[in-house]
Structure 1
Amino acid sequence: MRKILSFLLLSFLVQCSFSQSPSSYSSADIYLQLKKLNVLGSALYVAAHPDDENTRLLAWLAKERLFRAGYLSLTRGDGGQNLIGDEQGVDLGLIRTQELLAARRIDGAEQFFTRAYDFGFSKTTAEAFEIWNKEKILSDVVWVIRKFQPDIIITRFPEDSRAGHGHHSGSAVLAHEAFKAAADPNRFPEQFKYGVQPWQAKRIVWNTFNFGNTNTISDDQLKIDVGAFNPVLGKSYGEIAAESRSQHKSQGFGVPSSRGEQFEYFKHTEGVPAKNDLLDDIVFDWSRVKGGEKISPMIEEIIRNYSLSKPELSVPALVNLYKALQQLPDGVWKKTKMDETQRIIEMCSGLWLEASANSEYAVQGDSITVGVSINNRLGTNALLEKIGLEQFDTVLQKKLDRNKNLNFTKRLYVNPQRAITQPYWMEHKMLEGSFSVDDQELIGLPQNKPAFAANFDITIEGVSFRFVRAIQYKYTDPVRGELFQPLVIVPSVSVSTEPSIVIFRKTEEQKADVGIRLSANKNFNNYVAKVSKRTKNENSTQVDSSFQLAKGLSKDYIFTISNKQMKELNQDYVQAFAELANGKEEQPAYLSITGIRYDHIPHIHYFYQDAIKVLNMDLKTVGKRIGYIEGAGDKVSIALQQMGYEVTMLKEKDITPSYLKQFDAVITGVRAYNVNDFMAEKYETLMNYVKEGGNLIVQYNTINFISNVRSKIGPYPLTISRNRVTDENSKVNFLLPDHPVLNYPNKITAADFDGWVQERSIYNADQLDVAYETPLSMADPGENDQKGSLVIANYGKGKFVYTGLVFFRELPAGVPGAYRLLANIIALNRKKAF
């Protein structure tokens, strides 16, 4: 059992280092790591989302107090908004996962997650628990605590409404329940067969705050200055925290550095109270380990003799320390400190160990070339015993000379049965509020282990060490220089469909062409390809008897569908399948690859079965030409094209009186006024467009401490509030049932608000001038009706509309009522007598 525990702890520690570019370090960094060897304490910070964590406190814990610091985010932030692109849902969660890992690489903490899905803003803890399955997520929190074994647990939020979000308060409730449950052998006993044991943290505290309109700080709380300057690092913890927090780029959380005193406040909630220091009564030296009394003097001597200019001189003593650690009883701190010591030995030796592939994709049934590079840069007494690359073990028994490169290459065959690189929490169909993960040992981890790894067995000062490196794709960008990306295992061919949605009008018989694209990830010569299109009522197959496709190229197959085939169905899906055969092998294919690329994080890939959503609906449209001003990123313009409109994307230079005249409506993308400074300059031009008979439709903009509107928006006074309706099933009231927006050209009924996803509206308008009409009202359970989700005003000959209705979510999801209502909003101004 103890051996199992040691392995679990090792794998838990090193996961965060996979799939990153090789890290650089200085002698000062090594010195700090040496000091950390004498500290055996840990702290776990718990909150709900990426960016909820206190990076200043985490940096202080990890780099000043030298604790193992961890952040447990219940969710991956899937339901948030995106300032840098149009990704939503799981795509956004993948981005925010990597942003958190980037933040942790800066502040020095470790990162963990539960299986909870961020389903969007929640106003109550009860709603969050109902959707998440409270017991399931509680078990995850307990699991992380039992594995990480924190001495203290810190919550970001209180358990009540002051948290401001049901997920926030829920994270505090779960942390407190897990504080007790993790120590109870009768709670979640199924976890013990995986090597964990009951664990009781010393205390749990709430890190109180003063932001927004909520001040939870009081004089009787524990007060700690975490703003110190670290001369070893050359930075204050406020500066480190700013770098860390600024990694949350998708949320627009870039912040300035802070220097000087920075106080954090803590309210005791359970366990042994802390009187003077957060770490009161916690034993965090070697006396907590049996036999550890001989370890501390060895570390202190290494620190005394450490040379910044010649760190390699410390290697013999570090190897002796490693051997002494081996003699200790198995346990958390033995394995943790052995791992840390091995890393420091590697750093002091100046060892460069690299395994890189010549392609980003490792294709099932194909081969990749892997280059191995080794350099003993400081001349440590080191012998390279062997290198293990999957099925190859190369025995070398070669002495590593000082600063000499040792390079060689190998071809690795990728077994066709080797699993593709799918984020582990996306391998199975998710439930409404949580991901499905069957493997207990994966729960809590931030990401997958690498697709392939290389083992370097090196003897240093007579002791054998195994150093593991993820095999990564290495390339040179002409602007950014040498880069590394995760190596991804992919199928030999990927299958995608186009377009994402087809809209048929029930009132007439219609046809549409849809495309199935096969993309080759390896060379195909003399294959037979069977490409099939499947719907509920009709299947068809095209046979390509001479399928030839070079790696990296694609081939399209066009099929025709009609609403006549749908019969009584209001919606359907077109699914795509392919079979490729050459007489020797048959390869089924149906998965599409999604790639997400931003410069500040590693490339992201995942796989799914692509499909075309087909809607057969009663949809009428009036008007033809739409001008669209992009905002922070959405897919509304694509939906407009699918509705039959001609959409022109407008740049700043296009927003002129003469150019706008041609459009039946001008629509601004989500948060357009937040991200486009030129909107203030174009206010008069847009108002003149409305006055002369145009229709300006403004989708939601935010008003908060990171993103504000610096321009007037409407022709009459209005403010943007933070009011929202988060229950996507909430009742919608028709306050002006005869208003054209509810009647022309589509008759809007309650049924048009069925099937909405995540929420109804966000950042609704408030404090409206009497000139604005409010045809709708809605509310979350137990709250007063809100009228600001759709506001309309006449101005001159035209119309102005502000809407917080979440069309940016509903249209890509294929919600029929959202299409019908948007068509009516566009048709409000019938200036051209359509």
Structure 2
Amino acid sequence: MIKGGVQLSGKSKSSPKFVSMMTSVAIAGSMLLPAIASPAYAERGVVDLWKSIKPLATIASAMNTGAHPDDEHSAVLAYLSLGKGVNTFSVIANRGEGGQNEIGSELGNPLGIIRTRELQEASKITNVTLGMLSEQINDPIFDFGFSKSVEETLQHWGESFAYERLIRKIREDRPDVIIPSFLNEDSTHGHHRTINVLTVRAYKDAADPNVFPEQLKNGLQPWQVKKLYLPADAKKYNVMVPVGDYDNIYGASYVQLGEESRFMHKSQGMGRVVDEGPSGNYYTLESSTVKSNDKEASFFDGIAFTFADLAKEVETKGKDNKITKDLQLLQKDSEEVIKAYPNFTEVAREVHEMKKDVQNALADVKSSSLDQAVKDDLLYRLNVKDAQLNKASMEATSLVVKVKPDTGELVAGQTAKVVVSAFNGGDVDLRSIQLNLNVPQGWEAKAAGPVSFDSIGKNQTVSVTYNVTVPKDAAEFKPYAAPNLTADVTYKAFDTSSTVRAVPQNAVAVLPAYAMSLSPSATVFNTLKSDEAIPVKVTVRNYTPGASKASISLNLPEGWTAEPSVEEVSFASKGETKSVSFTVKGSSNVATGKYSITAVAKNENVQSNEGVQVISYPHIGTTYLIQPAELKIQAFDLAVPQNLKVGYVSSGFDNIDEYLRQVGVNVVKLDDKAIQFGDLSQYDTIVLGIRAYAFRPELIPSNQRLLDYVKNGGNLVVQYHKPEDKWKPELAPYPIKIGEPLIKWRVTDENSKVTMLAPDHPIFNYPNKITNADWDSWIQDRSAYNPAQWGEEYTKMISNGDPGEQEFTGTFLSAPYGKGVYTYSSIVWYREIPNLVPGSIRMFVNMISQKQSESN
């Protein structure tokens, strides 16, 4: 959780047992999203206290690298961070924009935002500092979809670009041990393989000053990781991590804690229930700068793990005995902190004693005669410890800090009130309290009262209200940027100062004065019916404070018209929405191609042409994506039979039905009652959405009803499934077995050659004549989870494969069954159709028109 909105680098919660918080001072190099509030839970104090003091006795660090959110080795991260107190980093390449979505229809950047927030929440649970190589929306390190090779991945990302980001993270975080999540194997996702290749290279290159020397000019120093480990198995390994060990303070094993974090990846269906009992994760030592044995007790054999170990290393340098004594004292301090647990006041006393000694050690190291590289290492580790002590002090003193704006939705030029408060819930008197609000450059923050206080006693609160003015040219909200409002609360306990950095409970966003959404947001202009108008509804949300007025108009392609040309809207208050309707007509001769219509809102002060997509789920809170208020149009010829009625069984992962309605198909979404008891014969076609058998529990027991529907003359279209989606070959009228491993049964090159094996089949001829051109301009993939075996009754519609690989012929199968037709397709329609790929829409219309083709 976020206690009082305190921004911490890796702690949260997912269930009452595992409540935690984010870190008090961000260590250099961490890239986090704005924190989102979690509810308070009853069981938290002593567990949070333990989480904050456990790292104080450990000076070692480890980094786990992965490609996508949910790639992290969660159980090992929990073991290292929560179990051993290791300073633990998770570095992920991209935001997962190319993945699937099991909780909604968001894809692309909106899905990337969801998955990033899920990753942040997961990282809090394991108390891990999260780093992202992808730094902004549409970053070059983008999840462009499934890849089978390192070469293709680096071609998209830019090899030097991605590698510079990884080297920079290593030099910022200075891990002792680094562990890529995957091996470079042919059966592995190309993105996973790429992170392995880059991590293995970076193990040495991060220490080479000639690699990206510009980083050194900007203050970073080369860093030699001491050990590189790769994933292994029980047959051959160097170290086994006992993730099944049960920790009685957390009331769970590290596997269970890791899975607790994985449950946050809800959009990917992650997380599993694990029983108690011994288990281990295995790793091989790929490279090392220290002497190692064949079998090791831990990743840190031969590496300084405690202050005592560090003192021995410094002692061997033979240059400064004072530093050795400082480190030995810190070893004693850390032991005293742990010994004082769970007495909050005594822990606070020992924490502040240790903090004083850390400050002394920092001063001594700076003035010492040690080699510069040794000094840099000591200063980094001591500064990490100082930040951890700030967090431990906050927990031990039971200090609750909050930053509460009167609104989290701002517009440029607005003034808002922000209250910064500090509550003392413990028995330690806190003195010399300073409440400072930090705002971006160009913003103004004026305190309406005193910001300094002599003391806060038990159960007392001090606060200050700031009047914050957003400049007229303020940058709009960016979902991957650091919070734009933070507060630094400084206080003294036991005569030693400590600082807590806090953030608001929810994201504070600068949004357009008027946010517009166009309905539809993407549509087809049918050149066979060029005289038909496009109805466009513009919904406008007022984000300006109070009442306002605006005129709404459309920017149109040349020669197009809209009626009316402009509409006026009036708002009584902030947050109110109004809708206006336009009738848009194309020019006299609209050519095949892409077109765009954008909405504009104007008044005497501002002009807006953007929309705000609010992304909100209980497990990640609310965030925003600002993008152009645009209607994308694809013009092409499309024949659609009249009076075609389709029943659509949605799995919740696609919105193909919406696009079918736009082109004139009568589509009815079928609920569970309709599937189990309704009259299915009224539908010319029934379509099952992707993976529907997994997410519509009524389908398996109703499958015979669907097959009878086909046998009696219906047309059933089934989109792709995974074997784990409860798919069984006998669900189809003639068996269809999906190929495994799934990673090998897909076509990832959207430009790969497609051969139509049955060009005379009705699917390729009615009502639209399909040609080779209809396979052009596809995006991301061709197909996923292709069948490996199928009954001879099916007609193989296409042959297609990635270049240099054997082609699949089970991607698109269709067979007569009784009086009807059954079609199974692994083509990724759910990506192509919302992106208005003409050939995909023409073929889908043909698929759902097979009943009509019989009479034509």
TM-score, normalised by the number of residues in structure 1:
0.88
Match of 1:631 in 2: 651
- Structure 2 CA distance, aligned partners of 1:258 and 1:523? 53
1:344 to 383, 388, 392: 392
Q: Does the 8 A contact of 1:575 with 1:612 survive in 2?
A: yes
Letter in 2 for 1:661: S
Q: Does the 8 A contact of 1:534 with 1:576 survive in 2?
A: no
Distance 1:766 1:198, change over 3 A: same
Distance 1:31 1:193, change over 3 A: same
Task: Return the offset for 1:545.
Answer: 6.5
Letter in 1 for 2:52: Q
User: Residue 721 of structure 2 aligns to a residue in which SS?
Assistant: coil
2:264 to 238, 247, 256: 247
Of 785-794 and 282-291, more deviation after overlay is shown by 282-291
Task: Return the offset for 1:826.
Answer: 0.9
TM-score, normalised by the number of residues in structure 2:
0.86
Is 1:452–2:510 an aligned residue pair? no
User: Residue 726 of structure 1 aligns to a residue in which SS?
Assistant: coil
Is 1:571–2:594 an aligned residue pair? yes
- Structure 2 CA distance, aligned partners of 1:619 and 1:408? 63
Provide, for residues 399-427 of structure 1, a one-character-per-residue CA deviation record: whole Å limited to 9, x for no partner. Answer: 2121124456555333332222213xxxx
User: Residue 10 of structure 1 aligns to a residue in which SS?
Assistant: coil
Letter in 2 for 1:144: K
Distance 1:526 1:208, change over 3 A: closer
- Structure 1 CA distance, aligned partners of 2:557 and 2:325? 71
Q: Does the 8 A contact of 1:152 with 1:204 survive in 2?
A: yes
1:326 to 344, 356, 359: 359
Task: Return the offset for 1:296.
Answer: 4.3
Task: Return the offset for 1:498.
Answer: 1.6
Distance 1:628 1:336, change over 3 A: same
1:312 to 324, 345, 353: 345
Identity of aligned residues (%): 28
- Structure 2 CA distance, aligned partners of 1:457 and 1:753? 63
Match of 1:478 in 2: none
Distance 1:283 1:386, change over 3 A: closer
Distance 1:14 1:188, change over 3 A: closer
Match of 1:830 in 2: 852
Is 1:738–2:760 an aligned residue pair? yes
Question: After superposition, where does 1:395-434 map in structure 2 within 5 Å?
Answer: 395-406=451-462, 409-423=465-479
User: Residue 192 of structure 1 aligns to a residue in which SS?
Assistant: helix
Is 1:125–2:150 an aligned residue pair? yes
Letter in 2 for 1:397: F
Task: Return the offset for 1:17.
Answer: 8.1
Task: Return the offset for 1:8.
Answer: 11
Q: Does the 8 A contact of 1:421 with 1:488 survive in 2?
A: yes
Structure 1 unaligned blocks of 5 or more: 1-6, 210-216, 424-446, 473-484
Match of 1:428 in 2: none
Task: Return the offset for 1:325.
Answer: 1.4
Match of 1:238 in 2: 255
User: Residue 680 of structure 1 aligns to a residue in which SS?
Assistant: coil
1:726 to 744, 748, 754: 748
1:177 to 184, 201, 206: 201
Letter in 1 for 2:384: T
Distance 1:538 1:764, change over 3 A: same
Letter in 1 for 2:528: T
Is 1:158–2:183 an aligned residue pair? yes
Of 228-237 and 723-732, more deviation after overlay is shown by 228-237
Letter in 1 for 2:63: L
Task: Return the offset for 1:353.
Answer: 1.2
Match of 2:160 in 1: 135
Q: Does the 8 A contact of 2:798 with 2:809 survive in 1?
A: yes
Is 1:716–2:721 an aligned residue pair? no
Q: Does the 8 A contact of 1:580 with 1:588 survive in 2?
A: yes
Is 1:293–2:325 an aligned residue pair? yes
User: Residue 451 of structure 2 aligns to a residue in which SS?
Assistant: strand
Match of 2:232 in 1: 208
Of 613-622 and 266-275, more deviation after overlay is shown by 266-275
- Structure 2 CA distance, aligned partners of 1:525 and 1:615? 38
Task: Return the offset for 1:537.
Answer: 4.4
- Structure 2 CA distance, aligned partners of 1:143 and 1:173? 16
Match of 1:512 in 2: 534
Letter in 1 for 2:56: L
Provide, for residues 729-787 of structure 1, a one-character-per-residue CA deviation record: whole Å limited to 9, x for no partner. Answer: 00110111111111111110111111101000111223111111111110101111111
User: Residue 796 of structure 2 aligns to a residue in which SS?
Assistant: coil
Provide, for residues 574-596 of structure 1, a one-character-per-residue CA deviation record: whole Å limited to 9, x for no partner. Answer: 12222211xxxx21211111111
- Structure 1 CA distance, aligned partners of 2:561 and 2:175? 57
Of 200-209 and 541-550, more deviation after overlay is shown by 541-550
Of 413-422 and 80-89, more deviation after overlay is shown by 413-422
- Structure 2 CA distance, aligned partners of 1:546 and 1:714? 54
- Structure 2 CA distance, aligned partners of 1:128 and 1:13? 24
Q: Does the 8 A contact of 1:765 with 1:803 survive in 2?
A: no
- Structure 2 CA distance, aligned partners of 1:141 and 1:298? 32
- Structure 1 CA distance, aligned partners of 2:87 and 2:342? 27
Of 515-524 and 533-542, more deviation after overlay is shown by 533-542
Letter in 1 for 2:453: Q
Match of 1:60 in 2: 79
User: Residue 161 of structure 1 aligns to a residue in which SS?
Assistant: coil
Task: Return the offset for 1:96.
Answer: 1.3
Task: Return the offset for 1:533.
Answer: 2.2
State how many pairs are aligned: 779
- Structure 2 CA distance, aligned partners of 1:387 and 1:542? 52
User: Residue 262 of structure 1 aligns to a residue in which SS?
Assistant: coil
Task: Return the offset for 1:339.
Answer: 0.5
Distance 1:627 1:658, change over 3 A: same
User: Residue 603 of structure 2 aligns to a residue in which SS?
Assistant: strand
Letter in 2 for 1:453: T
- Structure 2 CA distance, aligned partners of 1:399 and 1:14? 34
1:84 to 84, 103, 110: 103
User: Residue 507 of structure 1 aligns to a residue in which SS?
Assistant: helix
Distance 1:96 1:658, change over 3 A: closer
Is 1:796–2:818 an aligned residue pair? yes
Q: Does the 8 A contact of 2:102 with 2:653 survive in 1?
A: yes
- Structure 2 CA distance, aligned partners of 1:168 and 1:562? 48
Structure 2 unaligned blocks of 5 or more: 1-23, 135-140, 315-322, 367-378, 440-444
- Structure 1 CA distance, aligned partners of 2:65 and 2:832? 32
User: Residue 760 of structure 1 aligns to a residue in which SS?
Assistant: coil
Is 1:642–2:659 an aligned residue pair? no
Distance 1:638 1:526, change over 3 A: closer
Letter in 2 for 1:41: A
Distance 1:528 1:575, change over 3 A: closer
Of 131-140 and 513-522, more deviation after overlay is shown by 513-522
Provide, for residues 625-644 of structure 1, a one-character-per-residue CA deviation record: whole Å limited to 9, x for no partner. Answer: 11111114211111111111
Task: Return the offset for 1:798.
Answer: 0.8
Q: Does the 8 A contact of 1:123 with 1:166 survive in 2?
A: yes
2:220 to 196, 221, 227: 196
Letter in 2 for 1:491: P
Provide, for residues 17-53 of structure 1, a one-character-per-residue CA deviation record: whole Å limited to 9, x for no partner. Answer: 8444488743344245334212111111112222222
Match of 2:513 in 1: 492
Q: Does the 8 A contact of 1:356 with 1:372 survive in 2?
A: yes
- Structure 2 CA distance, aligned partners of 1:80 and 1:293? 53
Distance 1:133 1:244, change over 3 A: same
Match of 2:446 in 1: 392
- Structure 2 CA distance, aligned partners of 1:140 and 1:359? 35
- Structure 2 CA distance, aligned partners of 1:358 and 1:827? 55
User: Residue 175 of structure 2 aligns to a residue in which SS?
Assistant: coil
Match of 2:4 in 1: none
1:604 to 606, 615, 623: 623
Of 308-317 and 649-658, more deviation after overlay is shown by 308-317
2:683 to 655, 663, 672: 663
Letter in 2 for 1:110: T
- Structure 1 CA distance, aligned partners of 2:172 and 2:807? 46
- Structure 2 CA distance, aligned partners of 1:259 and 1:247? 21
Letter in 2 for 1:717: P
Q: CA RMSD in A?
A: 2.6
